[in-house]
Amino acid sequence: MFVLQNAPVQTIGLPGLTLSPVEFDSGTAHFDLTLHIADTEQGLIGTLAYNKDLFEAATITRMLGHFKTLLEAVVANPERRLSDLSLLCEAERQQLLSEWNSLQV
């Protein structure tokens, strides 16, 4: 699931009542993997919720690293197609192409 909250969040005032947003953590993931991005006055803020029965923390950390690499590539090359950009950092690319793909026996 991907959630982009880009509508302004405002406090609502009614006669004798003020409603304001409250952040809370329910402690459960409603979907297997949810990336939530909020557009705030401080900039974009992201959170990732995931099902711990399906994903290990190391997998999520690696996935976020790939997402960061992709975002950096988009900013550096906004005219390039998304499919032409890599998710892998240089060290991972080197490991995949050289170390794990070695034909030496």
DSSP 56-67: -HHHHHHHHHHH
- Against a cut of 0.85, is the pTM above it? no
The residue to which tokens 């557009």 are assigned: 39
17 and 10 Cβ atoms separated by less than 8 Å: no
pLDDT score recorded for residue 105: 57
Q: Consecutive 10-residue runs of the chain (105 residues): their mean pLDDT?
A: 85 80 73 91 89 94 92 93 89 83 68
Q: What is the pLDDT of residue 104?
A: 66
What is residue 35's three-state secondary structure?
Answer: strand
CA-wise closest residue to 4 among 28, 35, 42, 29: 35
Residue with tokens 């070695």: 102
